[in-house]
Structure 1
Amino acid sequence: MKNKNITTLLRHFFITIAIIFICTLVSLFFVELHIRTENIIMIYLLGVLFIVIETKQLVWGIASSFISIITFNYCFTQPLYSLHIHDPNYIITIIIFLIVSIITNILMGKLQKHAAIAHYNEQQTLAFYEISKSFLNLFGIQTIFMHTIHALYEYQNIISVLYYYDEKSKQLQRYQDDAMPLALHVVDELATWCYKHQKACGHATAINGSEQWSFHPLCHGEEILGVYAISHTPELTKENELFIHTLIAQMVMALEREQLYAQQEQSRIAIEKEKLRNNLLRSLSHDLRTPLTNIAGSSAVLLENDDVFDSEMKKKLMKSISSDAQWLTQLVENLLNMTRIQDGRLLLSKRCEVVDDIICEALQRCESRKGSHTISAHLPETIQLVNMDGQLIIQVLVNFIDNAIKHTQPTSHIDIYYTQKKGKACFEVSDDGNGIPDNMIDTLFDSFVTTKSERSDAKRGVGLGLSISKAIIEAHGGTIYAHNRADGHGAIFGFYL
């Protein structure tokens, strides 16, 4: 800073000397043209104006006025090359010159000051406009805070640190740009004190006033959101403080918008959860009633007509009871997994499993429910081991097979494939039904999504199977997918591990 001041001082000195020297040369030329000396002094007045314009400092204008008078008296008044004034009229001329030049310097200084203020205000207005516009496109607390920190440094060269109170951790979270040079150590304890007492502390305050950082509460109305810390190295000007307060006000409005958005999102989620809960209860009341009614009816018929029915009829009724009981078991298993997924308690027990065993177990669980469907498994020729949670992957395959059984004709074919694609294990369940409606492909794996079907029993199920299957596969780090077959006959459900 000291070297910069010396450089500026020398520059202004040489500018002053150079302009007065040029004025002297021009005046000597005018003397040769027999221009009166009273007019020559106006050249020096013009030079003084140029000096004030270039240096933008009144002191150099006044100094140049005296230097100009001395030079004029020495070079152009009788006796020449002497500071003695022979003609008393020149004394009046010199006095008037000094008065006019000083007044001109003062007026020029004021004009330059007003011009500088106008230019500064224009730059500030443009900066605030750009900042306000940029805040409109920001989302997320961290993004808003980092943008504020960068704006303070970019426009005012002010280093800052922001704190936001996190409701989850119950602590102040610190935000700063690690790439930005921190001139001083920030005392986090002062930020905590500022937040708790909702008072400014640090630099130039009653609390740790010797600190070079000042801490101010970040408030929205009566609510305190956090703390902003400002470095006072170098010392801030009033213009800096005005910029800071305006920028912080813009940031608070952005935070308010973020809070409103979060509240709206929470309300939307709450409404969505309520809808899902109502759908679940409504679906469960229907889906539990149907198999329970079948079980109760079949068991009552068996009890009342035990001596009448032959073994074939008894076997048929017991098979119906077993099928409905297995379906209820599968439903309960899906519901339990759904609650684990929503609570974040779905734990994987991964180990290397034989692919043949997994597929065969899934087929066995669906055996009693397949009816007249033909289910074929296309197993690998060699033993294939895949690292996975076997029971959960079996459930995914069962959900796929059940979905194919529900939404295809009784005599349709269902095929299960296992292949290796791009170094990943690929399981697929293919059917030859009517395929997936185009308007359902994007939402197929959402909860409570079911398709309309001509079959009366196709609506059995609360739409959880595919949603839970997606969560299980994603928990494995895999990818689940569904699409219609290329030949237009049926659909394919699959996943990569």
Structure 2
Amino acid sequence: MEMEKSIGIRVPILRNFGKIAIIWGLSTMLAIVLNHTGVRIENLLLIYVVGVILCSVETRSMLWSISSSIVFVFTFNYLLTSPRFTFQVDDPNYVISLLIFIIVAFIAASLTVKLQKQMDLDRERAEIMLKLNTIGSGFLNLSGRQAIISYSKKSLHNLTGKETEILIRSRDERFSDSSAEWCFRNSMACGYGEAQFGDSTRLYVPVCSLSKTYGVIIFSCSNGGLAREERMYVEMVISQITLVLEREQLNEEKEESRLQIERERLKSTLLRSISHDLRTPLTGIAGNSNFLYENYTLVDEESAKSLLLDISTEAEWLNSMVENLLNMTRIQEGKLEIHKKKEVVDDLISGAVTLVSKRLGNHTLKTVTPPEIELISVDARLFTQVLVNLIDNGIRHSGENTVITVSAGAKRNRMVFTVSDNGTGIPGDKMEHIFDSFFTAAYREGDRQRGAGLGLAICKAIIEAHGGRILIDQNVEKGAAFRIEMPMEETDDQ
């Protein structure tokens, strides 16, 4: 390791020595030739001045420039002044000329080296500014905190050449690194080279604006800290990071406001739907029950049975609607529990048919079951609710005197249920919204038909929670058909 370091030091020295030797040789040869042609001795000094400047340009070092100027002076004195080939000077004018030469050489070398260093510095700054502009442009299209962190980490590593870690505070969590926590809470840099935790090999810099601290940037300083200009550039990048984080926070707040407005809108829609849909059956139940109570001895048996059947039908419809509302609440809160057991397909269909039989009115309900006993793993209560919702949807929206068919059959490794009707069908512009909450085709008819628009949305959520899918079958010639595809293999309870 020491040998490699020694070689690394010797190579630049030998290279600079070689450059000076070449310039010295060419300058001396040119001076000797011009001296033989009768050029004045004072003009020959200018050749060596140019040589010193060239040495300054090539070596970029004041030490080498001063050394070359001394060598050139002694060479000029030895070869070109009387007495020649000695270091003596007989003419006092030569002494003055040589002193002026040394002074001019020093000044020229100094100015040349400073100018080169300034040019190198300006070039480095231009490169840094280009990197900063590129970094700033990259921040424009970023969204999401993870993307911001990843891009910032990569940009700071490219800018400083140091391993970088970025911690952004989320809510009230604490950083496991105590130094990072101190930096965040005090909005001050700490760690390597700082007053606080100065013996650390890591530098902690806060990501903060005037009003808020968002996180901490950690630089690995095992190979040295950040220079003053690097710290300035890092601060510029941090200001861009804070702007992007503030923009992200504003977007999150905007989205939260939008969701809050949407929740309020849905709540208003739900209250409007419930008040509208509950009023009619409750009015019928109250009216029929009061009529029976007040005219109990006057109503014949057939009329009484008819009124009681209406009360029972309305009560069952209310029960179904309340069940849908409860399921929707559980779905929105993420509390819908699926308890699967193996169920017979025929029993699931017959259970749903039994629940809706009193609400059929002038509709006809047909069932087509598999020829053999088939089992699927489902939550029987929830899956029956799905079939009931689909049948109710056909009863309400298919028109008068339609035939509603519930069928099931195995296809490969899936059990396919279909609930179809031969009614008016679903309008084309309603297809993509048919499974949205609070959407119902009844709105096109002035809300004359009951329904809060929750049934199909609940069906979709329940089926997907089982690992299946529900979709509209586009292959029917007339009416509407909903197809449910359920996996026949048993899956883990969700």
Q: Shorter-chain TM-score: what band? A: 0.7 to 0.9
Query: Contact 1:396–1:469 at 8 Å: present in 2 too?
Result: yes
- Whether contact under 8 Å (1:202, 1:215) holds in the other structure is yes
Give the Å deviation of 1:308: 4.6
Deviation at residue 121 of structure 1 after TM alignment: 3.0
Residue 349 of structure 1 is matched in structure 2 by 339
Query: Structure 1 residue 32: deviation in Å?
Result: 6.8
Contact 1:404 1:414 (8 Å CA) reproduced: yes
Q: Give the structure-1-normalised TM-score.
A: 0.87
Secondary structure in structure 2 of the residue aligned to 1:171:
coil
Q: Which residue of 2 aligns with 1:440?
A: 430
Whichever residue aligns with residue 482 of structure 1, its letter is I
* 8 Å CA contact 1:435, 1:484 repeated in 2: no
Give how far 1:393 is off: 1.8
1:408 aligns with 2:398: yes
Conserved in 1, the CA contact under 8 Å of 2:83 and 2:90?
yes
Residue deviations 1:282-339 (CA, integer Å, cap 9, x gap)? 1111111111111122223333444554444333322222211111111111111112
Equivalences for 1:119-268 in 2 at 5 Å? 119-167=123-171, 170-172=172-174, 188-232=177-221, 233-268=223-258
| 450 and 108 in structure 1: CA distance in 2 versus 1, 3 angstrom threshold | same
Q: Taking structure 2 as the reference length, what is the TM-score of the superposition?
A: 0.87
* Whole-Å separation in 1 of the counterparts to 2:89 and 2:125: 49
The 8 Å contact of residues 192 and 225 in structure 2, kept in 1 or not, is answered as no
Q: Please state how far the C-alpha of 1:256 moved relative to its aligned partner.
A: 0.8
Q: 1:75 to 1:426 in 2, by over 3 A?
A: farther
Give unpaired runs (5+ residues) of structure 1: 175-187
CA deviation after TM superposition for structure 1 residue 87, in Å: 5.4
Amino acid at match of 1:214: L
Q: Is the Cα contact below 8 Å between 1:451 and 1:459 reproduced in 2?
A: no
Q: Percent identity?
A: 39
Is the CA contact 2:442–2:451 (under 8 Å) kept in the aligned structure 1?
A: no
Q: Which residue of 1 aligns with 2:111?
A: 107
Q: CA deviation at 1:407?
A: 0.9
Residue 257 of structure 1 deviates from its aligned partner by 0.8
The CA distance in 1 between the partners of 2:19 and 2:250, in whole Å, is 59
The question of 1:61 aligning with 2:51 is answered: no
Which range moved further: 473-482 or 290-299? 473-482
Provide the C-alpha distance between the structure 1 equivalents of 2:39 and 2:414, rounded to a whole number of angstroms: 100
1:431 lines up with 2:421 in the alignment: yes
The whole-number CA distance in structure 1 between the counterparts of 2:269 and 2:47 is 94
In 1, are the aligned partners of 2:463 and 2:470 still within 8 Å (CA)? yes
Once the two structures are overlaid, the 10-residue window that deviates more, 280-289 or 73-82, is 73-82
The whole-number CA distance in structure 2 between the counterparts of 1:143 and 1:224 is: 19
Check the 8 A contact 1:363/1:398 in 2, yes or no.
yes
Amino acid at match of 1:418: A
In 2, Cα distance between equivalents of 1:210 and 1:448: 63
Query: In angstroms, what is the RMSD of aligned CA positions?
Result: 2.8
Q: Deviations over 1:216-259 (max 9, x none)?
A: 43333333323332333322111110011111111111111111
Which one is further off, 10-19 or 332-341? 10-19
Bigger shift: residues 36-45 or 320-329: 36-45
> Which range is displaced more, 262-271 or 304-313?
304-313
Structure 2 counterpart of 1:184? none
Match for residue 271 of structure 2 among 274, 281, 284 = 281
2:292 aligns with 302
In 2, Cα distance between the equivalents of 1:305 and 1:32?
Answer: 147
Q: 28-37 vs 116-125, which deviates more?
A: 28-37
Give the conservation status (yes or no) of the 8 Å contact 1:158–1:230. yes
Q: Distance in 1 between matches of 2:30 and 2:12?
A: 27
Q: Compared with structure 1, are the counterparts of its residues 308 and 163 closer, same or farther at alpha carbon in structure 2 (3 Å cutoff)? A: same
Distance in 2 (alpha carbons) for counterparts of 1:25 and 1:363: 115
Judging changes above 3 Å, is the alpha-carbon distance between structure 1 residues 446 and 239 closer, same or farther for their aligned structure 2 residues? same
Indicate conservation of the 8 Å contact 2:473/2:483, yes or no: no
Q: What is the Cα deviation at residue 361 of structure 1?
A: 1.9
Q: Deviations over 1:440-483 (max 9, x none)?
A: 33322221111136878863111111122222223223333236
Moved more, 394-403 or 240-249: 394-403
Amino acid at match of 2:174: L
Structure 2 CA distance for partners of 1:400 and 1:384, relative to 1, 3 Å: same
Is the contact between residue 373 and residue 413 of structure 1 (CA under 8 Å) also seen in structure 2? yes
Distance 1:456 1:210, change over 3 A: closer
Helix, strand or coil at the partner of 2:214: strand
- Give a deviation string over 1:361-388, Cα, whole Å, max 9, x none: 2222222222222333332333333232
Matched, 1:381 2:371: yes
Residues 495 and 61 of structure 1, relative CA distance in 2, 3 Å threshold: farther
CA distance in 1, matches of 2:208, 2:245: 11
Match of 2:489? Answer: none
Mark the CA change 1:401 to 1:112 in structure 2 (over 3 Å): closer, same or farther: same
Q: Which runs of 5+ in 2 are unaligned?
A: 487-494
For 1:323, the aligned partner's letter is: T
Offset, 1:76? 4.5
Does residue 5 of structure 2 align to residue 16 of structure 1? Answer: no
Instruction: Call closer, same or farther: CA 1:5–1:296 in 2, change over 3 Å.
Output: farther
Alignment check: 8 A CA contact 2:201 2:220 kept:
yes
Distance across 1 between alignment mates of 2:39 and 2:473: 100
Residues 1:454 and 1:201: Cα distance change in structure 2 (over 3 Å): closer
SS at match of 1:433: coil
Aligned ranges 1:303-382 → 2 under 5 Å: 303-382=293-372
Q: Distance in 1 between matches of 2:377 and 2:36?
A: 105
Q: Does the CA contact (< 8 Å) of 1:485 and 1:491 recur in 2?
A: no
- Residue 379 of structure 2 aligns with an amino acid whose one-letter code is D
**Which secondary structure state, in structure 2, belongs to the residue aligned with residue 371 of structure 1?**
coil
- Match of 2:432, SS? coil
SS at 1:48's partner residue? Answer: helix
Secondary structure in 1 matching 2:442: coil
Number of residue equivalences = 481
CA offset at residue 352 of structure 1? 2.8
Instruction: Write the distance in 1 (CA, Å) between the matches of 2:446 and 2:154.
Output: 63
Tell me how far apart the structure 2 counterparts of residues 97 and 245 of structure 1 sit (CA, whole Å): 48
Give the Cα separation in 2 of the matches to 1:32 and 1:393.
114
Q: Distance in 1 between matches of 2:438 and 2:192?
A: 59
Q: Which amino acid aligns with 1:67?
A: V
Cα displacement (A) at 1:33: 6.1
Instruction: Determine if the alignment matches structure 1 residue 492 to structure 2 residue 492.
Output: no
1:397 counterpart residue number: 387
